Structure 1
């Protein structure tokens, strides 16, 4: 779940931003603040009004280089100042309906691609970048095989359901024992999936064909 912070002291926009995010994005947690001094949660990124008076925005930015930020402003001239390695754009408030969903979607995709999942194998933590996972398959005896990049690991004493719960919305269960990364789909025809970097095809169950077809044609 992606955690989004919204900092704005203008109630009109504060409410508008919240409503857009709630209606357009699932699997997100939204925290609302009136001031930069109210932040009390770990956040994946922040929508920050840089027009707020009596707020030391510069000092806040200097002390939070780790935090991804999208600026909000009423002033077009401030857009040219929206620079920095952790700044992912600036939205004019008059363009919220047009730009907010686009910018937030782009940043959520970046965050998902940077995320790691940790598996413990023989007492050792193995960190796997979620975006590198191609598919997961239950192979029996409470073992799930994870194929990522050009590697494979087997996770013992687990189920495909438990592994899927650790992943995000791009992962699709295509049949009883297989979950695939939708972003890795190379082709879908005759009810079979073909994935990037994998020299085999995967049969999609009757119940899952509509979902897979929808994902494939919406993203390719």
Structure 2
């Protein structure tokens, strides 16, 4: 009797619904399945942070999220380990022209963000402060207040927010430009935080040997997927 060997399975929690940012993962998923090397399940969350909770409970083997959240979650109930990033774009703060003028005159602004805590709020302030300094304008961190307002950055701006933090140039930046909103993208790299707007693969540092080996296999497929996609940019 011939026995079929079932390949290892990895469950990966995404940070959002499946979208083009995840193309390297999808490519790796298809290639690994075709080779019989690995079965990869991609799980879309109800909430941006669901993946971390699922990882802590052992319900998934890895999480996809922005590098910021690796800093945020550091020191919590699970030992997190970055396995690297597979997607990168520009991102940062979408800020209105009026808000920029207010900062320059010494006034204050309110920045809408999907999350507000000391880590993310201070990063927002540091990025804006660095960006303005490069325009020969020195501002004080206390001029910037960050408040929670959900992930719809463009809608927050249309509803009166002075700026929107944790925005992506390839999503909200394009949307705002298409609508003709009077805003500029203050990129994280402009505030001396390069490589920030990315998607990172995050795992449990204390995972067992079988999971670590499966993750190593996944990373190998991702390493092959990224140059393959870059070499063939045409839509299919």
Query: TM-score normalised to the size of structure 2?
Result: 0.26
Higher relative contact order (CA 8 A, sep 6+): 2
